[in-house]
Chains A and B, each alone.
Chain A
């Protein structure tokens, strides 16, 4: 095969494409250090909005609720999603499989307004008070489908003979799962968890439908602040979130790269 070469057109489209993706985010972070209250007019460097942010108790409270919901729902979603992925790849044709795959794929493309509304109406029908738990259950339902897809694609590509060897040597199914299957699919489970966590932290629409008087999440707070106009505090909050996410993604990438290198070294 000949070498693929980048043409001028290819390089230009990559540069413009990535500038388009990253400039708005960089500007947002830059203007969080703006001394002026007018978000789009540069008035000198300042970190005052970060101070204001940490003194804003309502916002801090919402951030805490958001983190708790994200952690709990991502944990539940990881367990349920891994089970669903195992069911789809290891258990062949169980009754109602078609309905099951439908229910796994549908929530991912379903408009959020529909998912949010339907869950809310369900919680009202069974008389479940809206608040922390309703948001958690709603997020679990949405994000478990993403975990399923991530774990499923790993289960599909891995070497079944390792599992079969363990079984032939007399390991019971549960033991085989925990000592062979689980370590092999662990990276995809971690990736699924992180995806579920981020999706939950990010969600406005489903949380808005299912939030109660006791529990408001950060995106709901940010949304209502944005509706009133631009606010430098929102810029500061966004910059912090972007920083956390960037660090998380970079460290996850490095970690997975190291584990790949290590397993390659062991193989030699």
Chain B
């Protein structure tokens, strides 16, 4: 009996402790380091930043910090414009995703029950194939002499090659394409559970289909709309691969800015400051998403 309660107590302590410790060391601590380095000065050295403090020197931790990188971020309006443009591109993409995703999710929810699992699997399957490869596929399609131009010229819709690659339009296409499963699945989950009798009642009482869509379907689908939108918006703001491969040089996005500060300019402190800026922009949507997600998991019980 003694032994049993001992193992129980031991496992009760160990089970949360191991993953807790892992995330603490490899998620939380790295985060604090980013914060610290964003407040230190760059150096031409290996690694290319001047540590503000030695690990043993706590007093120095507060002494050597300055806001130089952040002043630079504020003074140079490049970062301000990049932030605004990221938020704008992500917001427009999320709206487009809703417009494209809703009819698909709605169609899936209305399909005969025996096909639904197959349709869900078909939506998820592209997600399992590499993100990078799926974006690469669009380069060949959107190129000026690419497959889309060839197809449209063949049917006679256009006479001049389309110039979509390296524009913001290509970025929207890329984001909508890559994130579509993240929008469709939460929408489908709420639409599938919807009670059809409500719609029938509305129609019987003389409501038009359009009006019952807006007054019944949309409000009932709201949890899915919110979850899907946040699930797409948050990573889209920090997106790097899509603007880099499909966007033009004028497509400003903050994730791309961070990448080039780090890899091209080798300014680690400034890259860290950009990371903090990106995080400040995203902290509100992330907190909302976490609450929505936690509530969803709780209601599953």
**B140 interface hit (Cβ, 8 Å):** yes
Contact B100 A122, beta carbon cutoff 8 Å? no
| B109 nearest in chain A by CB position | A4
Contact B286 A25, beta carbon cutoff 8 Å? no
> Given known contacts A28-B137, A106-B290, A157-B300, is B275 in contact with A14 (CB within 8 Å)?
no
**A202 interface hit (Cβ, 8 Å):** yes
Q: Please give, as numbers and ranges, the residues of chain B lying within 8 Å of A185 by CB-CB distance.
A: none
Q: Please give, as numbers and ranges, the residues of chain B lying within 8 Å of A205 by CB-CB distance.
A: 240-241
> Given known contacts A205-B241, A238-B133, is B18 in contact with A80 (CB within 8 Å)?
yes
- Contact residue among A87, A103, A156 (Cβ-Cβ distance under 8 Å from B300): A156
**A121 interface hit (Cβ, 8 Å):** yes
**A213 interface hit (Cβ, 8 Å):** no
| B13 nearest in chain A by CB position | A94
| A170 nearest in chain B by CB position | B4
Report the stretch among B56-64, B71-79, B120-128, B152-160 that lies at the interface.
Answer: B120-128
Contact B106 A118, beta carbon cutoff 8 Å? no
Q: Please give, as numbers and ranges, the residues of chain B lying within 8 Å of A10 by CB-CB distance.
A: 103, 106-107, 110-111
**A31 interface hit (Cβ, 8 Å):** yes
Q: How far is the CB of B40 from chain A (nearest CB, A)?
A: 11
- Contact residue among B7, B124, B138 (Cβ-Cβ distance under 8 Å from A24): B138
- Contact residue among B30, B34, B140, B275 (Cβ-Cβ distance under 8 Å from A230): B140
| B3 nearest in chain A by CB position | A172
How far, in whole Å, are A14 and B258 apart by their CA atoms in the complex? 38
Report the stretch among A44-52, A54-62, A240-248 that lies at the interface.
Answer: A240-248
Q: How far is the CB of B180 from chain A (nearest CB, A)?
A: 7
Q: Please give, as numbers and ranges, the residues of chain A lying within 8 Å of B139 by CB-CB distance.
A: 226, 230
Q: Which one of A114, A124, A152, A202 has the greatest number of beta carbons of chain B within 10 Å?
A: A114
> Given known contacts A118-B31, A205-B241, is B7 in contact with A172 (CB within 8 Å)?
yes
- Contact residue among A6, A113, A234, A245 (Cβ-Cβ distance under 8 Å from B128): A245
Q: 0/1 per residue, B126-158, Cβ < 8 Å to A?
A: 101111111011111101011100100000000
Q: Which one of B19, B126, B141, B300 has the greatest number of beta carbons of chain A within 10 Å?
A: B19
- Contact residue among A87, A102, A173 (Cβ-Cβ distance under 8 Å from B7): A173
How far, in whole Å, are A6 and B108 apart by their CA atoms in the complex? 9
Q: Please give, as numbers and ranges, the residues of chain A lying within 8 Å of B294 by CB-CB distance.
A: 101, 105
Number of A interface residues in the complex (CB < 8 A): 90
Q: Please give, as numbers and ranges, the residues of chain A lying within 8 Å of B111 by CB-CB distance.
A: 6, 10, 14
Q: How far is the CB of B131 from chain A (nearest CB, A)?
A: 6
Contact B133 A141, beta carbon cutoff 8 Å? no
Say whether chain B's binding surface is mostly helix, strand, loop, or mixed. Answer: helix
Contact B297 A117, beta carbon cutoff 8 Å? no
Q: 0/1 per residue, B221-237, Cβ < 8 Å to A?
A: 00000000011001101
Contact A17 B104, beta carbon cutoff 8 Å? yes
How far, in whole Å, are A172 and B100 apart by their CA atoms in the complex? 52
**B284 interface hit (Cβ, 8 Å):** no
Contact A91 B278, beta carbon cutoff 8 Å? no
Q: How large is the interface on B (under 10, 10 to 19, 20 to 34, 35 or more residues)?
A: 35 or more
How far, in whole Å, are A209 and B12 apart by their CA atoms in the complex? 36
Q: Please give, as numbers and ranges, the residues of chain B lying within 8 Å of A111 by CB-CB distance.
A: 234-235, 237-240, 255, 278, 282
How far, in whole Å, are A107 and B37 apart by their CA atoms in the complex? 20
- Contact residue among A100, A121, A156, A249 (Cβ-Cβ distance under 8 Å from B23): A100
- Contact residue among A13, A174, A241 (Cβ-Cβ distance under 8 Å from B107): A13
**B70 interface hit (Cβ, 8 Å):** no
Q: Please give, as numbers and ranges, the residues of chain B lying within 8 Å of A264 by CB-CB distance.
A: none
| B33 nearest in chain A by CB position | A121
Q: Please give, as numbers and ranges, the residues of chain B lying within 8 Å of A14 by CB-CB distance.
A: 104, 107-108, 111, 119
Contact A28 B29, beta carbon cutoff 8 Å? no
**A125 interface hit (Cβ, 8 Å):** yes
Q: Please give, as numbers and ranges, the residues of chain A lying within 8 Å of B271 by CB-CB distance.
A: 117
How far, in whole Å, are A48 and B134 apart by their CA atoms in the complex? 22
Contact B27 A114, beta carbon cutoff 8 Å? no
Q: How far is the CB of A117 from chain B (nearest CB, A)?
A: 5
Contact B108 A241, beta carbon cutoff 8 Å? no
> Given known contacts A109-B286, A222-B136, is B196 in contact with A118 (CB within 8 Å)?
no
Q: How far is the CB of B26 from chain A (nearest CB, A)?
A: 4
- Contact residue among B27, B122, B131, B238 (Cβ-Cβ distance under 8 Å from A18): B122
29 A–B pairs (Cβ distance < 8 Å), ordered by A: A4-B112, A17-B107, A17-B184, A24-B177, A25-B129, A40-B145, A84-B20, A87-B16, A87-B19, A90-B15, A102-B290, A103-B20, A103-B24, A104-B23, A109-B234, A111-B234, A117-B34, A117-B275, A119-B30, A122-B33, A124-B47, A141-B26, A157-B300, A172-B8, A173-B7, A204-B131, A208-B263, A241-B129, A242-B129
